[in-house]
Amino acid sequence: MSSTEKYLKPEVIRTVSRLDLRARFIVEGFFNGLHASPYHGFSVEFSEHRRYTQGDDLKDIDWLVFAKTDRYYVKKYQAETNLTGYLVMDLSESMAYTYRQELTKFDYSICLAAALAYLMIHQQDPVGLITFDEKIRHSIPAKSKRTQLGNILALLSKLQPTGQTEISKNLQRIAAMLRHRSLVMIFSDLLADSGPVIDALHMLRYAGHDVILFHIMDEAEVNFPFDGMVDFRDPETGETMLVDAAGIRGDYLDSVGALRENYRKECLSAGVDYVALDTSIPFDRALVEYLSQRKARF
């Protein structure tokens, strides 16, 4: 593993204090590892090109790309290449949880969002940021200027997860807010009734938006590494429950698996990209999902 690829690991990026450097290191580590990965075709070098087709003007052929690939590519026009994206952050207190990982669910989400903002701005794609708990808290309109990255990172670095959340209602509000077709990237642990959330995702799709749902859980929430009698506390309601970990492990893991599978199926049906992540997973998976969406658009 190269010196930059190591920054795809959450436990390594935790050692970097500045959010702007975290974002840069994640993106650089990602692209550094692309060459030897199955995602080599997403190389940013050719993200602004498409294959030559009969009828294209020969003067639009990029001969430098031809020299590298022995294939004909034409440069896309600006209108063809811009993808407007919105990063949508769940501020619920449950996102502050971690058991034994270096990053909380919220830290992990912030790192991913910062990296995606960094990537989009450097590809000249407009990007904005929306945050919510029980209501919409912040909204930065999408722009592609270099100063936009600083605006987004400044807000991301100040955010704190507190209180309860209303995921479905806020996704409905966002669907009504956005006037132009956008890629909506949602970061949440989805600790809410799944039915209304899925209905809201359908509403976003009906409004013409593309959606990536990053379902971010703590590694312990996925693997349940607990033993003996454990006192669990709901961070949003304060309710506690003393349970025998061994006695409920099987049922708990079945429930988590069923929840994720239900989201996967429902999102597939709605045309939403569902990405199940936990805080032990390297960051590159999320960047691949973004680039897959971007490539599919054009």
**Which CATH code of 3.40.50.1820, 3.30.310.80, 3.30.70.920, 3.40.50.410 fits the domain covering 3-34+81-297?**
3.40.50.410
pLDDT band at 135 (very low <50, low <70, confident <90, very high): very high
For residue 196, pLDDT over 60 is answered with yes
pLDDT band at 45 (very low <50, low <70, confident <90, very high): very low
| Residue 274 β-bridge partners | 213
Specify the domain boundaries for CATH 3.40.50.410 within the chain.
Answer: 3-34+81-297
pLDDT band at 284 (very low <50, low <70, confident <90, very high): confident
- Neighbour tally for 74: CB within 10 Å: 18
Average pLDDT, the chain: 86
- Neighbour tally for 37: CB within 10 Å: 13
- Residue 76 has phi, psi (to 5 degrees) of -75, 150
pLDDT band at 36 (very low <50, low <70, confident <90, very high): very low
pLDDT digits (tens, 9 = 90+) for 99-113: 988 899 999 999 999
CB 88 within 8 A of CB 167: no
pLDDT band at 236 (very low <50, low <70, confident <90, very high): low
Among 254, 258, 278, CA closest to 266: 258
pLDDT at position 277: 94
pLDDT band at 54 (very low <50, low <70, confident <90, very high): low
CB 51 within 8 A of CB 73: yes
For residue 291, pLDDT over 70 is answered with yes
Instruction: Provide the residue count of the chain.
Output: 298
Among 15-19, 243-247, 256-260, name the most confident range: 256-260
Average confidence (pLDDT) over 279-292:
85
Average confidence (pLDDT) over 168-190:
95
Q: In the numeric block, which tokens belong to residue 200?
A: 């809201």
Q: In the numeric block, which tokens belong to residue 47?
A: 């993200």
> Which DSSP string do the residues of the chain spell out, in sequence order?
--TTGGGGSHHHHTT---HHHHHHHHHHHHHHHHTTSTTGGG-GGGTTEEE--TTS-GGGB-HHHHHHHSS-EEEPPHHHH---EEEEEE--GGGG--SSSSS-HHHHHHHHHHHHHHHHHHTT--EEEEEESSSEEEEEEEE-SHHHHHHHHHHHHH----S---HHHHHHHHHHH--S--EEEEEE---S-HHHHHHHHHHHHHTT-EEEEEEEE-HHHHH----SEEEEE-TTT--EEEEEHHHHHHHHHHHHHHHHHHHHHHHHHHT-EEEEEETTS-THHHHHHHHHHHHHH-
